Chains A and B, each alone.
Chain A
Amino acid sequence: MFYKERTIIKLEGVTKVFNVKSQKVTAIEKLNLSIYDGEFLCIVGPSGCGKTTLLRILAGLEQQTSGRVIISPREPEKPLNSMVFQGDSLFPWMTVKQNVAYGLKMRGVAPKDYEKVVAHYINMMGLSKFENAYPHQLSGGMRQRVSVARAFANDPEILLLDEPFGALDEQNRILLQQELLKIWEGTFKTAVFITHSIDEALILGDRVLVMTAHPGRLKAEIKIDLPRPRDTLSMRANKRFVELYEQIWSYLKEEVIKAKSAV
């Protein structure tokens, strides 16, 4: 089997029901889904459709109510997954360096062994000057860069990214997308990336999944046959890019309207 063809994560009829004050909220319902080893998978869907819930189940932070999640790692000695969380998740009491080193330190790697790795990812994110700064001294864009560096430095097999650039301004988002692609390409890591931006999904992904409005199910799957390595700026003008954009939007539009009318 080839790279990006072997299934690394398989979801079979996964349902998650939250009990909120004796009311049942179905976040995702009977989700069937295969994620391939080494692919960059983007998931889009209206807000509240269960994207974060899905990612938290994959991360083991939440347990599905029913259904099965089968994960078959390629390199079982590596950490299975590392998450880049939605919103601020850096420890305020740790410096940039300490935050990036967190996963490695927790795994018992000795400082002399991880220092180089940590410095490498801090450098790739352009934060060398700030390695001893605390998060409150950084801008929002810089903090997200640290979050991404923390996940990569941990060297997991699967990266889970929950709208990591959602709160950033346009300029920072473009830069971070470029930087993310740069450090992801050549790592052979599987990435599951959640976003509300079709642009972003097309720029980054090998495949885009559209989820239905609440409760979350699979609406459509679109293969992004745009060549890599990608030039995140010029590709927007590509004819294929525009076609794919319209295709995804046509699926998403229905769900966004549904989500709106449900409120």
Chain B
Amino acid sequence: MNMTEEKLKIKIPREKEIKNVIVLESEENNQKRSVFGLDGIVFKICSLFSPLLILVLWELLSKLGILDIRLFSTPSLILKSMLPVVISGELFYNTFISIRRIVLGFLAGAIPGVIVGLSMGLFPLIRLVFQPIVSAVFPIPKLAIMPLILLVFGLGEVSKIFVIAMGVFFLVVINTMAGVLNIEQIYLDVAKNYGASRKDFYLTVALPGALPMIFAGFKVAMGTALLLIVAAELSAARAGIGYMIWRAYDMFDIERMFVALIMMSVLGYVFSFVIDWIERLAIPWKHN
């Protein structure tokens, strides 16, 4: 009895009296909030600002003597010493030499790597034969065989290209093989049911199915190639970005060293950009 009386007491407000209205805005009306979205202008400024902030901090700390200027130099000094290296063409020449070694070494490792990896993934017999060899050689740091490579191939270009190729080859083999082995069974069944020949299967299922893993391998391999180029140019090189770094070390020319390091970073960025670009062309089904 009491309950119903309570209920009856509740006054239903008229439309005009309702003050607390909740409106769910459409996308068009949320410009104000786009600050929180990743495309917000604030975020763009922040991402541009952070490297700048570091440069300013670096300059200040060096000028104030908190950072040892002999070891860390300053951004302005580096910029100043960059000019003559650029104008004389020295920087670009050395960059060109390194790029050539990296590209040739990468191709010399990646192309056979894909072929061997595909074969190992597809044919159990080949896998059985090569697996122990790959497992034994892969863990050896490629830097450790640099001296041996120098003895075999001499001091010329071949030894530098070869050491990069070695580093790239094994990473690509392992990724490609895993890519093939991880192709879902259903695709093999479809190929068989629809009468694919060995060669067709290779080209229409194994290769495209493994491509995402192959490119993952390429990306890791590119990182390794950049690492190896610096090491390879340490010993017995007369040009290259790595050579520039080691020369600068010998002459205690910190600014030059930083110029070369910046170039290294640009190279890394450009190479990964190029691989991403090729990947988008080769795997159109992954990106819209």
Binding site for B on A (CB under 8 A): 56, 59-61, 79, 81-83, 85, 87-89, 91-94, 102-103, 106-107, 134-137, 150, 154
B20 within 8 A of A: no
B189:A93 contact, CB within 8 angstroms: no
5 smallest A-B Cβ distances: which pairs? A93-B208, A103-B194, A134-B285, A106-B195, A106-B196
With A91-B205, A93-B285 as contacts: A85 and B194 at CB distance below 8 Å: no
Specify the chain A residue showing the minimal Cβ separation from B192: A61
Q: Can you list 13 A-B contacts with CB-CB less than 8 angstroms, sorted by A residue number?
A: A59-B193, A81-B193, A85-B186, A85-B189, A89-B186, A89-B189, A89-B190, A91-B190, A91-B205, A92-B285, A93-B208, A136-B285, A154-B194
A93–B194 CB distance below 8 A:
no
B215 shortest CB reach to chain A, Å: 13
Interface residues of B in 193-231 (CB under 8 A from A): 193-197, 200, 204-205, 208-209, 211
User: Bound complex: CA of A87 vs CA of B185, how far in Å?
Assistant: 12
For residue B107, give the distance in angstroms from its CB to the closest CB of chain A. 24
Residue of B nearest to A135 (CB): B285
Q: With A93-B209, A134-B284 given, is the CB distance from A82 to B187 under 8 Å?
A: no
Q: Which of A87, A88, A91, A135 makes the CB contact (< 8 A) with B204?
A: A91
Name the interface residues of B269-285: CB closer than 8 Å to any CB of A.
283-285
Hey, which chain A residues are within 8 Å of B186, CB to CB?
85, 87-89
Asked if B288 CB lies within 8 Å of chain A CBs, one says yes
- Please pick, from A83, A88, A91, A135, the residue contacting B193 in the complex, using a CB distance under 8 A: A83
A25 to B197, CA, bound (A): 32
CB proximity to A under 8 Å, residues B123-162: none
Known: A85-B189, A103-B195. 6 other contacts (CB 8 A): A83-B190, A89-B186, A89-B189, A93-B209, A102-B190, A106-B204
Q: Contact: A93 with B288, CB < 8 Å?
A: no
Q: Are A106 and B189 in touch, CB under 8 angstroms?
A: no
Give A93's nearest chain B residue, CB to CB: B208
User: Is B193 touching A82 in the complex (CB atoms < 8 A)?
Assistant: yes
Given contacts A91-B205, A93-B209, A136-B285, contact A106 B197 (CB under 8 A): yes
On chain A, the residues within 8 Å of B288 by CB distance are: 137
Chain B residues whose C-beta falls within 8 Å of the C-beta of A107 in the assembled complex: 195
Q: A91-B204, A106-B197 are in contact. Are A85 and B190 (CB under 8 A)?
A: yes
Chain A residues near B285 (CB-CB < 8 A):
92-94, 134-136
Q: Which A residue's beta carbon lies closest to that of B190?
A: A89
Q: Is the CB of A91 within 8 A of B197?
A: no
Is the Cβ of B194 less than 8 Å from the Cβ of A106?
A: yes
For B193, the closest partner residue in chain A by CB is: A83
- Closest CB in chain B relative to A239 CB, distance in Å: 40
How far is B189's CA from A56's CA once the two chains are assembled, in angstroms? 9
